[in-house]
Chains A and B, each alone.
Chain A
Amino acid sequence: MKNLQKLPLYLFAVLTLGFASCESEDPEKENEGEVITDVILKFQEIDGSNNPVGSSFSFKASDSQGIVVGGAPTIETVTLTRGKRYQMNIEVRNSIENEDITQEIIEEADEHQFFFLGSAFTSNILSISYADPGGKLIGVQTRLTVSSSPGTNNTSMRVVLRHDLNKSFSGASNPNFENFVQAGGESDLDITFPIIIN
């Protein structure tokens, strides 16, 4: 057991090694890949055979960057004309990373779905149907019909994007499905747009 006399030396070596290697890394900037900062509703008037009429127009909802307590997103008021039909396309963006997230949502069609709720639908001012290419029920592309005799000019539309839901849940094929939470999953977006009908 002669070696044991060198023990303190070994211990010291292990110690220096251990303590020297123990330093935290410099922090790095993180690309916020998942944050949605802008949601744009693009409206294109269509005729009876779904052909475009005139030029399109859009309304935007955007978040302040980072967490601001008491802050609220800026949401533009949507203006539509009574009796007309529109094709609505939703564009979802991350302006921090300058990314278009819409494509990701379309690629994961089996995990995502938009639902459209609020007084615009319950008061029969608007009616909506899914019109995504390939017949998928996502809601990135929809068709809206504005009532020709709405009871009021001021209404609102709540747009909810659900992620990881059971799309075959009974009732989930309805874009106005109120009990969407029962289909499981979580909300990635929940925005209420004010609407004025001219």
Chain B
Amino acid sequence: MPKFPLKKLFATLFQKLWFNKYSPPTFATMIQKVIFSIALFAFAVTQVSAQKCDLVLRGKILHLENDQPIEAAYVWILETRTGAVTDQNGNFVIRELCPGTYTVTVQYLGHKEIRETINLSGSTTNQTFKMQEESMDLSGVEVHGHRDAVQTTTAVTSLYGEALLQSRGESLGESLKRVAGVTTFSTGNTISKPVIHGLHSNRIMILNNGIRLEGQQWGAEHAPEIDPFLADEITVIKGAETVRFGPEAMGGVILVNPPTLPTNKKHTTELNLLGGSNGRMGNFAASHSGGSEKIQGLGYRVQGSVKRAGNIRTPNYYQANTGMAEYNFSGSIGYSSKKLGIEGYYSYFDTEIGILRDSHTGNLTDLIEIIQNGEPFIKPDFTYEINNPKQVVSHHLAKLKAHYHLSPEMKLNFQYGFQLNQRQEFDRRRGELNARPSLDLELFTNTLDIFLDHSRKSSWSGSVGINVIQQANSNIPGTGVTPLIPNYDMVNGGVYLMEKYLKGPLEIEGGIRYDFRKVSAARFIGNELQEAELDYQNFSAFLGGLYQLSPYFAFTTNLGTAWRPPNVNELFSQGLHHGAAAVEIGDPNLNSEKSLKWVNGLEYEGKKASVEFTAYLNQINDYIYLNPTGETFVSLRGTFNVYEYLQADAFFYGFDLSGTYSFSEKFNGYLKGSIIRAKNTETQTYFPFIPSDRMDWGLAYSFGNLANRITLSNVLVAKQTREPEFDLAPAPPAYALFNLGYNRKFKLGENQFNVGLQVNNLLNTEYKEYMNRFRYFTADMGRNILLKLNYQF
């Protein structure tokens, strides 16, 4: 087979397709290109794979009654005496089978054994087995915990196990940079918001244990109020998931999931102790979970973390007032039986974050002076002290969840969430005002989900449900500043229906949803009462599919609409924004943003290599953005730029690629990269703060029974050359960073002890990141040496 020329041909075809400068992309041509690329890939794949005694049996083991995946089920082929154990998503793979007829058995404690005859002829056979629970009076029955793993045909990437362990000590946003296609939009080094495929803030959604996190997410400098330590798995869904999760899930969804509650009497504890040289950071986290001896199925978990850091150092100076403190707690208790499951959960997040002193400028002249200087004027020594300007934020989240099996095929779910978000922002002010916040907000949110899941032994499954979000935002009086956003009440109601069809290697899924939203807002500007009543409504829908192309290849595609009603700040902002020396003016007549996102994923999982490739197109109509008007506002304080909120059609597209390769058992390599293009298609201009092209690759070497591992990695970030027409400063140059890590695993009896030593920015390179709003004022973080201890018992 002429492999090489073919490969070359594909490469040239692909290049011609995507990097042809003379045809500006439209939505239609983009779709054509993607279809063609996929066909090209599929063709290339079939060309490369050879045929012999290498058939594969692949499948999924699910609970019959609720379609939840079963972890650690045992799949055995009698004839060949080979088998596999399912992973946490219920998946298993048995390779190297010759064509023929086999007897397959599936076993899982407390469930009826399955014995089926299977005929293997094609290259791959995909089989889903659904296991039925045996009656409860059998001795030794273990009641399983229910876990709502995402089952979607959209591209999904999870961070768990060792990858999550390595990210410990970082904020949620920083941790998620490990996922290809996810970057951060940050304000200094302590505030970072995740960006999925170029979208952030209210255009993505974060779920804390199944409840949509409702803080003041509209603000560029408002980080998600969540402790990454509460999770044992963080999942990123890169598609439009409005139908499943409600409005605003336009660019993607982040699921922060705590571990399943134990249902037996086993007790486990995990301790994490971390220290970082930069900012002299200390971080301690502990979690403990256990089950009741008396009541079977009753389990609990408590978890907490404390973090403290001082001024961050760039290679050449300390950044003034960049310390932070964070205190988190979460606890849950649950009961699970054959028919009923019920869980109570509470999490508390509390943080105080110092804001770089020099980023708080008085007027445009100040701002221009500091930008020209390229670094802060104030360069103090190290201190843990946090002064104004600063943010003090706390977030309470309580949840009550229950499910009941109406019949083996029907499950009724109920979920109620209560959230209270308190945000205070302090500026440098005169006299006693300095002790008072200049922004003081209190946001209450109630969320209610009631839905019915059905799954039959046949191939159909799905759910139908209602979702209610109610929100009340109040400004706490006494700030001495006209509120940036008004007090408001919001109610959002939605009904949805989703169905999935599963047959052999094919999975097809679709859904529709209807939402309405009512917002009533009021505030005083001077002595004048400003009131507004606004209504929004929308239909959304999605259609997706998953197809197992070959033993090693799976293809997913998902086309979904999403919408986002304008946020209160976009509607009603009117005030000074000190960090940008800008006056921002909202528009109460803005329409809802509506988008259509098409995500395609190709997954290859071989013996030595694994590759995940995602390509997407996202057309957003009435995209809301902050536009400089070119006018200025002059006061006794000085001059300010004036920005207004405008709408225009936008088109986003891009690719994510991640792959691993094992050169040998000991020597591994990985590569991750993403490319995003975003354009205002009405004015043919670029939007600000779109991540530039980036790549991260590394090599790992393991030794000493694979218990030791050394990793050297390199992050390459290109200069953002697609800049908007107006920016306060040009995009910073490209940069390259090197990181070095060493991990060691110890077995202490039954217990696991992990030690990690990481050096980030090994060469102490001075750089500025385009996606960091403080690039106007300061260089980014310098070298940071981290020691991470993890003990599980």
A residues sitting closer than 8 Å to B (CB atoms) are 1, 4, 7, 11, 14-15, 18-19, 21-34, 36-37, 39, 61-63, 65-73, 96, 101, 104-105, 107-108, 162-164, 166, 181-191
Contacts and interface: CB of A to CB of B under 8 A. Distances in A.
Interface stretch (B65-73, B125-133, B476-484, B768-776): B476-484
A187 B416 contact: no
B369 A181 contact: yes
B529 A27 contact: yes
B363 A190 contact: yes
Given A28-B524, A68-B633, A71-B634, A183 B428 contact: no
Contacts of B430: 34, 101, 104-105, 108, 163, 188
Nearest to A62: B636
Given A15-B448, A19-B446, A23-B472, A66 B526 contact: yes
B480 A24 contact: no
B642 interface: yes
The 9 closest A-B CB pairs, nearest first, are A187-B362, A186-B362, A33-B480, A190-B638, A25-B474, A184-B378, A24-B472, A28-B477, A181-B369
B366 A24 contact: no
B444 A22 contact: yes
Given A22-B444, A69-B642, A181-B369, A186 B428 contact: yes
B182 to A, nearest CB: 32
Interface string B73-108: 000000000000000000000000000000000000
Contacts of B362: 162-163, 185-188, 190
A39 B637 CA distance: 11
Chain B contact surface mostly: strand
30 contacts: A1-B337, A11-B414, A15-B416, A19-B446, A24-B488, A27-B524, A29-B524, A30-B477, A30-B479, A30-B524, A31-B480, A32-B481, A33-B480, A34-B429, A34-B480, A39-B636, A69-B585, A70-B633, A71-B634, A96-B526, A101-B430, A107-B431, A181-B365, A181-B377, A182-B373, A184-B358, A187-B362, A188-B362, A188-B430, A191-B636
Contacts of B416: 11, 14-15, 18
B595 interface: no
Given A11-B416, A30-B480, A71-B634, A166 B378 contact: yes
A46 to B, nearest CB: 27
Contact of A24 (B489, B576, B585, B636): B489
Contacts of B200: none
Nearest to B639: A190
B480 A69 contact: no
A30 B482 contact: yes
A177 B160 CA distance: 57
A19 B417 CA distance: 10
A29 to B, nearest CB: 5
A167 to B, nearest CB: 13
Nearest to A107: B431
Interface in B493-529: 522-527, 529
Contacts of A28: 475, 477, 524
B90 to A, nearest CB: 28
B486 A27 contact: yes
Given A11-B400, A26-B522, A187-B365, 13 more contacts: A22-B471, A24-B488, A66-B526, A67-B574, A69-B631, A69-B642, A70-B632, A70-B633, A71-B634, A164-B428, A186-B360, A186-B366, A190-B638
* Of listed B362, B402, B488, B522, residue having the most chain A CB within 10 A: B362
Given A69-B583, A184-B378, A34 B433 contact: yes
Contacts of A162: 362
Contacts of B428: 163-164, 186
A30 B633 contact: no
B361 A18 contact: no
A164 B321 CA distance: 13
A27 B475 CA distance: 7
A18 B400 CA distance: 12
B480 A27 contact: no
Given A163-B430, A189-B637, A66 B489 contact: no
B371 to A, nearest CB: 11
B33 to A, nearest CB: 44
Interface of B: 337, 340, 342, 357-358, 360-363, 365-366, 369-370, 373, 377-378, 400, 402, 414, 416, 418, 428-431, 433, 444-446, 448, 470-475, 477, 479-483, 486-489, 522-527, 529, 574-576, 583, 585, 629, 631-639, 642
A118 to B, nearest CB: 13
Nearest to B444: A22
Contact of B637 (A33, A70, A71, A190): A190
Contacts of B574: 67
A105 to B, nearest CB: 7
B444 A32 contact: no
A61 B637 CA distance: 11
A128 B720 CA distance: 48
A163 B377 CA distance: 14
Contacts of A186: 360-363, 366, 428
A134 B258 CA distance: 63
> For A4, A18, A32, A105, which residue has the most chain B Cβ atoms within 10 angstroms?
A18
Contact of A19 (B429, B470, B481, B576): B470
Contacts of B337: 1
Contacts of A34: 429-430, 433, 480-481
A27 B636 contact: no
Contacts of A27: 475, 483, 486-487, 522-524, 529
Nearest to B443: A24
Contacts of B576: 67
Contacts of B583: 67, 69
Given A30-B524, A107-B431, A184-B377, A36 B637 contact: yes
A182 B487 contact: no
A65 B480 contact: no
Given A7-B342, A30-B481, A108-B431, A37 B636 contact: yes
A73 B634 contact: yes
A103 B654 CA distance: 58
A162 B642 CA distance: 23
Contacts of A37: 636
A73 B482 contact: no
A166 B320 CA distance: 13
Nearest to B473: A24
Contacts of B634: 71-73
B366 A14 contact: no
A22 B419 CA distance: 10
B506 to A, nearest CB: 39
B435 to A, nearest CB: 12
A65 B482 CA distance: 12
Contacts of A189: 636-638
Nearest to B358: A184
A191 B400 CA distance: 58
Contacts of A61: 636
A63 B474 contact: no
Nearest to B370: A181
Q: Identify the interface centre among B378, B433, B446, B637: most chain A CB within 10 Å of its CB.
A: B637
A77 B469 CA distance: 58
Contacts of A30: 477, 479-483, 524
Nearest to B475: A27
B369 A63 contact: no
A34 B481 CA distance: 8
A7 B431 contact: no
A187 B487 contact: no
Nearest to B342: A7
A74 B639 CA distance: 14
B527 A29 contact: yes
A22 B472 contact: yes
B372 to A, nearest CB: 10
B575 to A, nearest CB: 7
A34 B430 CA distance: 7
A144 B480 CA distance: 36
Contacts of B429: 34
